[in-house]
Each structure stands twice: as structure tokens, then as C-alpha cells.
Structure 1
Amino acid sequence: MTEIRVLNLVTNEDAQFFRAQVQELERRGIDLTTLSVPGRNRSESIDANEDGKRSVLDYAKFYPSVLAHSLDDYDLIHANYGLTAPMAVAQPKLPVVLSLWGSDLMGKYGPVTQRFARFCDEVIVMSEGMAEIYEGECLVIPHGVDLSVFRSMDQSTAREELGWPQDERIVLFPYPPKRDVKNYPRAERIVDGARDRIGVDVSLRTATGVPHHRMPYYLNAADAMIMTSRREGSPNTVKEAMACNLPVVSTDVGDVRTRLDPVEPSAVSDDDAALTAALAEILDRRERSNGREYADAIALERMGERIVAVYEDVTE
């Protein structure tokens, strides 16, 4: 394969799933240069999966850099997150691949994304649910998980590493509690209900600001993960939990139902009573899931293989 030179545009180059994507593509021989929109990004505020405190002026300042780089010897532009699409399609030379992350399509920036995505040569979304929302043809390629990092380990060892008590039932909420779209108060209500059902101590713990390489300890130390998001694309936390055999109880968002359908124990529902009952049963049984058995489809290598195929198609 001839080396492909790609100009990456991104709102937050520190987003862990984006960094993993870059590393996997470079491992496959893709030559990548990344340009990040100037200004404050969500990683400095709340969530890496959305653009945060930037102004229209920040994006206006971004375009000259994109244009100048596009005149160099690149084969294509890969715009990551919908708000980078206007700058990508405004340059006159290179084909454009656009990856949508979720909030750029389903949140307040959705109309902007839809308007400019139609001018891209290929659009990638994270889930079938996003594909149904997107007004055009697209490919579903979920973010991948590094299965060499996210793997099952002894729970007592993981708890000792984190300083967590060995005898307590622990539910993990792996998001910032203040992030409204993640709906932490609902998670609290469900955990409270499960605690009342089984009559033993149950704690709800978060993992805000944890280095990514430390997350496997949290996923292995917990007895269950709860996700009560109002919307998602293809949440990596669910896939990472699967890879660590951690049972997941989740609202029916993004591709979560598809991912967890064969996994036992797990539960997906928009009904609080059903989620409470499922979580109580999981905590009472205190058994790991079989999620790892279904992890091949979400492997980082599989994602990289498919993105490279997209690059080859648009540069033919």
C-alpha cells in the first residue's frame, strides 16, 4: 500500500479515543498531521466528546491554517467532529472524510453538521442510531478499544490498587457528575433503589479525571457500571467495560443495546424500575459478565482496518 498522508482536523486532540485512533492509524503506516481548533476545548472544562468554550472567531482563525496546510502534499483531510467540517470542505483541493462523534450530530450543533457533511466525500458515524439521524449516506465505524489494555483482572487486586474496600458492593459511574447529559441524579436514584432491594451497603463511585491507563483498575474493581445518559453515540466506556467483563446497566442510548444484547449479566432499559431491579440482581449475584467474548468486533485493530479502507476509497 502506498503511504497515505492525512491532514487531521479536530476540536480536541487530547480526547482519548482520538489519540487511540491516531496511534492505530500510524501503526498501519498512515502519515498523520493534526491541526486542532484554537481556543479552550472541552477537555479543559467538562467533556472531551464535545466542543466547549470556543467562539466563532476561534473557528475563523482556524481556516487560514487549514487552507495553508491543504496546499501541501496531503492525500486527504480527515475532519473529526462536525464543527471542523466547514473548514475542511472550504479548501478547494483535497477529498474530505468526516467522523461524527455523537453530540455534533445529536446536540445543538446538529444542523451545522448536517449542512456541511453533505459536501464531504465520506461520512463516518459511531452507531446505527447515529446513521438513522444523519440525513445522507454514511458508514458505521465505532471507536475501537485497546483489548491489550482493557482486560479482566482479579477484583481484589484492582481494589487494593485503588484503596477500595473488599467487602463493599460498588457501582461505577465513569463520567463527571456535573455533566448534565450523563444524568448523574438518575444514577443515584437507581443505585439507592438497588441498595434498598438487597439490603447491603452499596456505594456509587465516579472516575472523573482518571488517566486512561488507570481505568482498567476501576472497571475491574467495580461490581457493575451504570450509565444513565440522555444521549450517546457509541460510548467507549461500555465497550471498555465489556472488555473487562464488568456488568453494565444502561439507558437505551446509541448502540448500547446492540453491544450488550448478547452480554450476561447486563441490562438496557429506559424504565427506572427495570434498571433498579437489574442492578439489584447483578449486585446480589456479584458475578462478572461474559462481555469479553464479544469484544473482537470493537477492537482497535478492527476500527483501524476499516478507516484505512475508507482512506483508500476516497483517494483512488
Structure 2
Amino acid sequence: MKVLFVSSGNSKAFDIAPFIKVQGESLREKQIDIEYFKITGKGFSGYLSNVKLLKEQLKSNEFDVIHAHFTLSAWVVVLAMPRVPVVLSLMGDDARGRVRKLVKNRVYINFFTFSTLLIQPFVKKIISKSPNLEKFVWQKKKSYLLPNGVDVQKFCPTEQDFREELGLIKDKKYVLFLGNTQDPTKNFQLLNATREKLALHGIEIVSPYPIPHQQVFKYLNSVDVLVMCSLDEGSPNVVKEGMACNCKGVFTDVGDVRYLVNNTPGYAITDFDADDLTQKILEVMEMDTCKGRQRLLDLKLDLPTVADKLKRIYQEAQA
């Protein structure tokens, strides 16, 4: 089977988003030939400028399935009029719209949501990374719920000391934030508001974004607590990678996070409140054990298992 991955190539930090590249490589382990088409240009018009380029690639290459990551990528594929099935992965803000501030009872009427609703008749299968995204799929017969998997061979607990390499002080306590601090949706300002109170306990915040994906493993095995305080997510990979490394964590209740951590020792869910976040960080830091890795394995979110499920979706799309 030969599959073309279509996704954004606009990031200055990454050639292809790490979670997309990891998924592609996991499928190669299942004897699926993966190629990538990177979309350059921002906004709807920027994406549309890639339709002609994709048509040319489809003329010179034969694929069995095209897998579009994010709705705008799927529009590029659909308008290129391929003769093979199109699979769409909904990732987060492509269904719900970009969230820049916390609003209760938010009404999801926006360009991104509208485009996600409109494209569904033109694709064969739709994959949602979490239940809060799947609710935007109205063509239920096409719908699958499948979070991204984690490479549990690469993301694992280790006794190896990376602190000196990462410029971290050996005996200091650290809270890790891996998101883009300039992205309002990632909500770094909430964690930043805890800085002075954490400092009173000898705890420092480290936010190394952007870093190569292979560095993430080293940070997760070098800090005391991982914090993810986004305003909105689907199924955040950073949470699952932290769990795979048995890195303790405090997270906001977004996407499928509450389901992921459940009552697993080593984790806590925080409100969107700096005092509550501070208290949860201190509580988690004092916990004796962390069972994140076992919870992740129990959920069968390792890469090979997820790749098998994705392969079956491709096969059903061809039927």
C-alpha cells in the first residue's frame, strides 16, 4: 500500500510536525510506503495555491490512499480531484476554531468549523483525535476515534542524567513547559503567573521551545513536573509522551486529558487559575510514585497498536 501524507510545511521549527512524521514512520514498519506533500502558504488562499502542485505530484505518482492532516489540507486534496480515497484527520482547531482566551459556553461558529462540516461528503473516512473533536463529525458512518500513538521504545524512563547537557542545575527542581510560549492557545501566561510562588519553593520554570523532537525525551527525564495548561487541545501528544517517560504532570482539563490520566498516580488536573495550578504542581511534586507509562500501555496507545488500527482504516477506505 502506498499512502500520501498531506500536511502543513509552514513551521519554522519543524520540516514536518513531529507527531505526523512519527505516525508516518510507524506505518512504514507495517509495510506501508509513505510519501509527504508539504503545503506552504498560510490562510485559505495560501493553502489553495498548492492545489496545482499537488495535482502535478498525483499525475506522476500513484497512491492507494491520501491522508490529509487538518481540514485545510484536506481541501487542497479534494480540489486536486484525486482518484483515490481521502482520509481526513481532525487535529484540534481545524474543527473547533482557534481558542485565544477562555470563554465559558463558547459557540463554535467560525470559518474552521464551517469548513470541517462542509468537507465531510468529499472524504472517505474521518479520524478524530479525541471525543471533543468527533462531535463535529456529522457523517457518523465515516467516523473513527483514534488518538496518536507514542513511541514507547524511545519515550521511556531512564536513569541517565541529561541535566548537564541541557544546561539544568543538578539539584534544582524544574517545571517543564514544552509548548510555544507565544501561542495564546498554549496559555503559557497561566504558568508564568505561578513563577514567583514556585520560586519560593526553589522551583524554576523551563520552556525550551522550539527543540528537536529527540530532545523532548531528555527534558521529560530531567525535570520534576510537566505542565500543559492549554485553553484547547485534541489529544495532546506532549501529555502522552510525558506519561510514557513516567514524568509527573499537571494539566488543564482539555481534549481527552482527563480520560488519559484518569486517577493515575503522579498526575493532577488544574483549573485555569494560577493559585490552583501552583498548588497542584506542589502536590504532584511530592508524590512518591508515577504510573503514567503503565496507564498509557493499558490504553494501548503505543505506536504499533495505533498503526495497526490506522492501516485497517486505510483498507476500509479502499473497499
Instruction: Give the TM-score taking structure 2 as reference length.
Output: 0.85
Counterpart code for 2:153: S
1:224-239 to 2 correspondences below 5 Å: 224-239=225-240
Q: Is the 8 A contact 1:176 1:208 kept in 2?
A: yes
Q: Distance in 1 between matches of 2:23 and 2:94?
A: 18
Q: Distance in 1 between matches of 2:72 and 2:253?
A: 26
CA shift, 1:314, in A, is: 1.0
Q: Distance in 2 between matches of 1:247 and 1:134?
A: 33
1:1-150 to 2 correspondences below 5 Å: 4-12=1-9, 14-39=16-41, 54-71=42-59, 72-90=61-79, 91=81, 93-108=83-98, 109-137=112-140, 138-150=143-155
2:190 corresponding residue in structure 1: 186
Q: Distance in 2 between matches of 1:287 and 1:311?
A: 43
CA shift, 1:271, in A, is: 4.8
Q: 1:153 aligned to 2:158?
A: yes
Instruction: Give the TM-score taking structure 1 as reference length.
Output: 0.86
Q: Is the 8 A contact 2:174 2:205 kept in 1?
A: yes
1:282 corresponding residue in structure 2: 284
Q: Distance in 2 between matches of 1:186 and 1:280?
A: 16
CA shift, 1:252, in A, is: 0.5
1:263 corresponding residue in structure 2: 264
Give SS of 1:98's match. Answer: strand
Q: What's the CA shift string for 1:126-157, capped at 9, x where partnerless?
A: 111211243332211111111111111227x1
> Percent identity at matched positions?
29
Q: Is the 8 A contact 1:82 1:117 kept in 2?
A: no
CA shift, 1:92, in A, is: 5.2
More displaced stretch, 228-237 vs 7-16? 7-16
Unaligned segments of structure 1, at least 5 residues: 40-53
Q: Distance in 2 between matches of 1:161 and 1:68?
A: 45
Q: Is the 8 A contact 2:268 2:284 kept in 1?
A: no
Q: Is the 8 A contact 2:4 2:37 kept in 1?
A: yes
1:294-313 to 2 correspondences below 5 Å: 294-296=295-297, 297-313=300-316
Counterpart code for 2:239: V
Q: What's the CA shift string for 1:112-138, capped at 9, x where partnerless?
A: 122113321100011112112433322
In structure 2, the CA distance between the partners of 1:165 and 1:310, relative to structure 1 (3 Å rule), is same
Q: What's the CA shift string for 1:254-279, capped at 9, x where partnerless?
A: 11111111321211132524433221
Unaligned segments of structure 2, at least 5 residues: 10-14, 99-111
Q: Is the 8 A contact 2:266 2:287 kept in 1?
A: no
Number of residue pairs matched by the alignment: 294
CA shift, 1:75, in A, is: 1.7
Q: Is the 8 A contact 2:26 2:303 kept in 1?
A: yes
Q: Is the 8 A contact 1:239 1:295 kept in 2?
A: yes
Q: Distance in 1 between matches of 2:237 and 2:212?
A: 15
Q: Distance in 2 between matches of 1:234 and 1:160?
A: 32
Give SS of 2:122's match. Answer: coil
